[in-house]
């Protein structure tokens, strides 16, 4: 540990979600020393949000010995531009409909450097710093939540690309003819099939297209979630199992394509859908090995994040704080 790490042993991590903003003060082993949270919404401006955030933060900053113990702050947020430290037109955050220089605003309010990245990238950095990707230089993080996000690490560095918007693997086209409409306005994207909402859509589609009995038929089709499909599959429901086979096969084939970019050591999966465990992971690995280019066969590991869901995002955000020079 260098001198500065001893003098300033902590970073602040902020997981800025559509509903809640969770703060943690983290040491360099990934231990969360103090935590607090505010609602993300309900402010008329970014200034009001930052003011409320800093008020909440001040309490936990004092708990760890004051701002002089804090090296930096890292933020994981939707539509974050890493290069500019801005949130850019986040559709679900009322005070960020335009371009908000959030990193600079926090930096001025707190007096420490602040870096910002998007949530999937923060998860990848967290996994590299504290999780199953520790020590890896080349891996792909895939987040399976409401959408399909990704964070790509090459040569030990996160891939930001020319404009900070690299790593949108949820929007590769998997179905080129008559693909499902995707939230992005295009059709056939991986996300339209393999997100949590995509899994529910697949279940509704299979229920409509077959007469096979299924526990899921007891529900209102529109109310089915990926969790319901997972529970039904766990009970041996054949149709629900087919939903996961379909989802895993598509994810495995997509990963086979992703391998041609960066020949990763591992694919790391994160997010609600991974709770389905082997129901999802087995067909992913099987489809990957059936489809991948010969040179990559059998090389990549398929891992599920071991970081606890609620703290992973805060840890990931904090990890980018350590990287600020």
Residues forming the site for a second copy (CB under 8 A):
137-138, 152, 154-155, 157, 159-176, 184-186, 253, 256-258, 260-265, 291, 293-296, 299-300
User: Can you tell me the distance from the alpha carbon of 25 to that of 104, in angstroms, rounded to the nearest whole number?
Assistant: 19
Shortest CB 252 distance to a second copy, Å: 12
Strand ordering across the sheet containing 32-39: 32-39, 20-27, 10-16, 70-76, 114-117
229: CB partners within 8 A, 6+ apart:
199, 200, 203, 216, 240, 243, 244
Shortest CB 92 distance to a second copy, Å: 16
* Cross-strand bridge partners of residue 267: 140, 302
Cα torsion angle, 175, 176, 177, 182, sign: positive
Shortest CB 163 distance to a second copy, Å: 5
Relative to beta strand 20-27, strand 32-39 is antiparallel
Single out the residue of 86, 80, 82 nearest to residue 105, CA to CA: 86
Shortest CB 295 distance to a second copy, Å: 5
User: Can you tell me the distance from the alpha carbon of 24 to that of 6, in angstroms, rounded to the nearest whole number?
Assistant: 19
Shortest CB 79 distance to a second copy, Å: 9
Nearer to a second copy, 39 or 186 (CB): 186
Shortest CB 173 distance to a second copy, Å: 6
Asked if 284 contacts 89 with a C-beta cutoff of 8 angstroms, the reply is no
Nearer to a second copy, 44 or 178 (CB): 178
Nearer to a second copy, 68 or 98 (CB): 98
Nearer to a second copy, 14 or 256 (CB): 256
* Cross-strand bridge partners of residue 116: 75
Nearer to a second copy, 1 or 295 (CB): 295
Q: In which residue are the tokens 């589609």 written? A: 205
Q: In which residue are the tokens 């997100």 written? A: 195
Shortest CB 150 distance to a second copy, Å: 8
Would you tell me how many other CB atoms lie within 10 Å of the CB of residue 134? 10
3-state secondary structure of 286: helix
Shortest CB 211 distance to a second copy, Å: 25
Shortest CB 325 distance to a second copy, Å: 15
Nearer to a second copy, 108 or 290 (CB): 290
Nearer to a second copy, 15 or 168 (CB): 168
Read off φ and ψ for residue 274, nearest 5 degrees: -65, -15
Nearer to a second copy, 165 or 322 (CB): 165
3-state secondary structure of 168: coil
Read off φ and ψ for residue 106, nearest 5 degrees: -65, -40
User: Can you tell me the distance from the alpha carbon of 136 to that of 156, in angstroms, rounded to the nearest whole number?
Assistant: 7
User: Can you tell me the distance from the alpha carbon of 35 to that of 32, in angstroms, rounded to the nearest whole number?
Assistant: 7
Nearer to a second copy, 10 or 82 (CB): 82
């Amino acid at each position: 540990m260098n001198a500065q790490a001893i003098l300033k042993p902590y970073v602040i991590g902020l997981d800025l979600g559509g509903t809640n903003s969770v703060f943690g003060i983290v040491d360099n082993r990934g231990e969360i020393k103090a935590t607090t949270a505010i609602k993300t919404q309900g402010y008329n401006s970014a200034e009001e949000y930052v003011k409320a955030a800093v008020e909440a933060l001040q309490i936990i900053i004092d708990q760890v010995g004051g701002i002089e113990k804090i090296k930096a702050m890292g933020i994981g947020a939707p539509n974050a531009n890493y290069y500019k430290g801005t949130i850019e037109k986040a559709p679900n955050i009322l005070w960020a409909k335009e371009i908000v220089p959030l990193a600079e605003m926090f930096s001025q309010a707190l007096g420490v450097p602040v870096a910002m990245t998007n949530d999937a990238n923060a998860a990848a950095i967290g996994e590299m710093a504290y999780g199953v990707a520790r020590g890896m230089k080349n891996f792909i993080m895939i987040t399976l939540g409401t959408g399909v996000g990704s964070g790509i690490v090459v040569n030990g560095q996160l891939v930001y690309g020319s404009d900070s918007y690299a790593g949108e693997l949820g929007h590769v086209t998997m179905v080129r003819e008559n693909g499902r409409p995707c939230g992005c306005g295009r059709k056939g994207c991986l996300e339209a099939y393999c997100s949590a909402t995509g899994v529910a859509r697949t279940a509704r589609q299979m229920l409509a297209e077959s007469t096979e009995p299924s526990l899921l038929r007891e529900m209102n089709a529109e109310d089915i979630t990926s969790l319901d499909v997972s529970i039904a599959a766990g009970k041996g429901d054949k149709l629900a199992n087919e939903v996961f086979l379909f989802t895993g096969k598509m994810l495995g084939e997509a990963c086979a394509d992703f391998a041609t970019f960066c020949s990763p050591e591992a694919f790391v999966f994160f997010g609600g859908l991974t709770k389905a465990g082997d129901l999802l992971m087995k067909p992913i690995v099987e489809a990957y090995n059936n489809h991948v280019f010969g040179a990559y066969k059998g090389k990549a590991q398929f891992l599920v994040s071991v970081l606890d869901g609620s703290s992973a995002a805060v840890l990931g955000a904090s990890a980018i704080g350590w990287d600020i020079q």
